[in-house]
């Protein structure tokens, strides 16, 4: 598939900036993957899962730091499981279950995030979970596929014509659901910024660092509700996206003060609330965020200033971080920090036994541990850091957490 390799190249070369764009494009790509997958007569869900997983593995490998890719791949896998479950449930005659799946379909159609998430979670808990647990015990690393095949096998046993209809319906409904997912990714700003007025009061002083579109929309929304407040923007070296944000904010008439990152500690004592965006939210409630955020969070904690992270649900990552400062980080070019021409003589590899005396470190991300975060605001409302794992369980199925090992074992 040409667009897959194209997208992989883009990811590898870091051409796609921001988790929102990445998430959206990943979802679109997976939609086309799903639609182009040839459906076999038997075991359709498993073949879909395999196809998506194979592509997903390559995408994740292309940019392992961009966690949104993995999130979306897992979301799509979860969607396939859910749809398969509901379609097979429909093919059964059990009244309770079909009702439940109708309910779930409705919720998905509406795209109401809270309801759908809750319903999906309920469905997953009532039907999927016991079976997958059982298979987990039986089959170890291959839990999902056999369960799917058994359910598909059941429906296959009924009649062939019925089965092919179910197959078409499965693919169709998966694509529908992915469309909803894309819609949800696009709409997350609105859902989040709707909550702005609940958190920003009159005359508030808000500090943010760098630029996040979510934060911008959040502040805009509060401004539109005629709250007047003041924003300090830390510029966020070395990308200086804070300048962009400041420019955007003043266009909406927000009173904005740009400060250097070094002045964060000095200014935070006069700030009522810190609102920042995130790169990804890990399952433990820790946040992967643009560099400098840990410093800001520590300063906020010191002065007991609420540290609020706003992020769309596509940034929720079901993985637990281990040594995230190093493993989920990316070192960029030193040219952001120093001038090559000026320091070229210091970077001479020949001079000091092969290793230069000077190293320049330019990391992209920071890890903010969950205890420093006061509140997460996602499109499903506000959450505590300790509650993130539960939220994540609603969006992902436990079988998909490890995509790579799964596919290597199946290959």
Partner 1 sequence: MDLRRPNRPVIGPKVRQVGFVTPDSAAATSSSSIPAVSAAAAASAGSPPSSLSPVMIPPPRHPSTEMSNPHFHPVGSYNPSEQILGSPPALSPSRSSRFDADGSDFGGDDDESVALSGVGGGMTPKSSLLMCQPVTKTAPLVSETRKRDSNASKGKGEGPSAAPKEKLTKAERRATQEAQRAAKAAAKEAAAAGGAPSVSKQPKPATKPATQQKKDIPSGSGPLQPLAPSGSIEKKQGKKEVAAPHPRMQFDDMTKVGKLKKRAVVNQSEARNRVELFRHLPQYEHGTQLPDLESKFFQLDLIHPSVYQVGLQFLSDKISGGNARCIAMLLAFKEVIQDYTTPPEKTLTRDLGAKVGSCVSFLIECRPLSVSMGNAIRFLKNRISSLPHNLSDKEAKSRLQSDIDRFINEKIIIASKAIVEHGVSKIRDGDVLLTYGSPSVVESIFAYAHGIKKNFRVVVVDSRPKHEGQGLLRRLVERGIHCTYTHLNAVSYVMHEVTRVFLGASSVLSNGTVYSRVGTACVAMVAHAFRVPVLVCCEAYKFHERVQLDSICSNELGDPDAISKVSGRKDLNYLDGWAQNENIQLLNLKYDATPSDYVSVLVTEQGMLPPTSVPVIIREYGIERLWT
Contacts with partner 1, residue ranges (CB under 8 A): 235-238, 240, 243-244, 246-247, 249-250, 253-267, 269-270, 291-292, 294-295, 298-299, 302, 325, 329, 334, 337-339, 342-343, 346, 352, 357-363, 366
What's the CA angle centered on 281, arms 333 and 224, to 5 degrees? 95
Helices 160-193 and 44-62: crossing angle, nearest 10°?
40
The CB-of-346 to partner 1 minimum distance in angstroms stands at 5
Q: Which is nearer to partner 1, 154 or 325 (CB)?
A: 325
Helices (H), 41-159: 44-62, 67-91, 95-110, 113-123, 129-139, 144-158
Q: Which is nearer to partner 1, 295 or 393 (CB)?
A: 295
Query: CA torsion, points 19, 279, 397, 73, in degrees to nearest 10?
Result: 30
Q: Which is nearer to partner 1, 167 or 210 (CB)?
A: 210
The CB-of-253 to partner 1 minimum distance in angstroms stands at 6
The CB-of-257 to partner 1 minimum distance in angstroms stands at 5
Element (H, E) at 208: strand 205-209
The CB-of-6 to partner 1 minimum distance in angstroms stands at 27
309 to each of 82, 159, 173, 210, 269, how far by Cα in Å? 30, 52, 33, 13, 19
Q: Which is nearer to partner 1, 56 or 292 (CB)?
A: 292
Structure tokens at 339: 């001038």
Q: Which is nearer to partner 1, 57 or 366 (CB)?
A: 366
Prior bond of 370 cis (ω within 30°): no
- Specify the length of the chain in residues: 411
Q: Give the Cβ contact number of residue 326 at 10 Å.
A: 10
Q: Which is nearer to partner 1, 134 or 257 (CB)?
A: 257
Q: Which is nearer to partner 1, 14 or 131 (CB)?
A: 14
Q: Which is nearer to partner 1, 259 or 398 (CB)?
A: 259
The CB-of-163 to partner 1 minimum distance in angstroms stands at 55
CA distance 274 to 210: 12
The CB-of-162 to partner 1 minimum distance in angstroms stands at 58
Tokens 């433990």 correspond to 284
228 to each of 193, 195, 196, 225, how far by Cα in Å? 16, 16, 13, 9
Q: Buried (b) or exposed (e) across 235-245, using 16+ Cβ within 10 A?
A: bbbbbebbebb
The CB-of-233 to partner 1 minimum distance in angstroms stands at 9
Structure tokens at 93: 């005659």
The CB-of-247 to partner 1 minimum distance in angstroms stands at 5
The CB-of-205 to partner 1 minimum distance in angstroms stands at 9
């Amino acid at each position: 598939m040409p667009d897959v390799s194209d997208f992989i190249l883009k990811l590898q070369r870091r051409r796609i900036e921001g988790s929102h764009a990445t998430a959206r494009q990943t979802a679109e790509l997976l939609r086309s993957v799903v639609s182009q997958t040839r459906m076999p007569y038997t075991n359709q869900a498993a073949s879909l899962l395999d196809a998506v997983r194979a592509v997903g593995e390559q995408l994740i490998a292309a940019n392992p730091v961009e966690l949104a890719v993995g999130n979306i791949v897992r979301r799509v896998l979860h969607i396939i499981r859910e749809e398969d479950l509901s379609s097979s449930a429909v093919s059964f005659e059990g009244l309770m279950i079909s009702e439940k799946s109708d309910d779930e379909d409705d919720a998905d159609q509406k795209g109401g995030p809270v309801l759908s998430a809750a319903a999906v979670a309920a469905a997953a808990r009532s039907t999927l979970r016991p079976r997958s647990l059982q298979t987990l015990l039986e089959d170890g690393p291959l839990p999902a596929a056999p369960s799917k095949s058994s359910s598909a096998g059941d429906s296959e046993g009924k009649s062939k014509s019925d089965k092919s209809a179910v197959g078409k319906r499965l693919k169709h409904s998966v694509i529908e659901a992915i469309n909803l997912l894309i819609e949800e990714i696009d709409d997350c700003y609105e859902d989040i910024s709707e909550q702005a007025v609940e958190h920003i009061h009159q005359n508030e002083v808000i500090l943010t660092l760098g630029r996040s579109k979510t934060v911008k929309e959040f502040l805009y929304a509060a401004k539109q509700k005629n709250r007047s407040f003041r924003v300090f923007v830390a510029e966020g070296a070395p990308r200086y996206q804070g300048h962009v944000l400041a420019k955007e904010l003043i266009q909406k008439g927000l009173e904005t003060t740009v400060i250097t990152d070094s002045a964060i500690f000095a200014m935070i004592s006069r700030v009522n609330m810190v609102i920042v965006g995130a790169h990804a939210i890990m399952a433990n409630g820790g946040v992967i965020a643009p560099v400098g955020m840990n410093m800001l969070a520590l300063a906020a904690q010191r002065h007991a200033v609420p540290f609020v992270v706003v992020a769309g649900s596509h940034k929720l990552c079901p993985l637990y971080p281990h040594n995230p400062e190093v493993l989920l980080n990316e070192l960029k070019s030193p040219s952001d920090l120093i001038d090559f021409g000026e320091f070229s003589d210091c970077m001479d590899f020949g001079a000091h036994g092969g290793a230069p005396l000077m190293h320049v470190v330019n990391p992209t991300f920071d890890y903010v541990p969950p205890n420093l975060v006061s509140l997460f605001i996602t499109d499903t409302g506000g959450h505590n850091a300790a509650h993130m794992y539960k939220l994540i369980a609603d969006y992902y199925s436990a079988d998909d957490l490890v995509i790579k090992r799964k596919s290597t074992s199946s290959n």
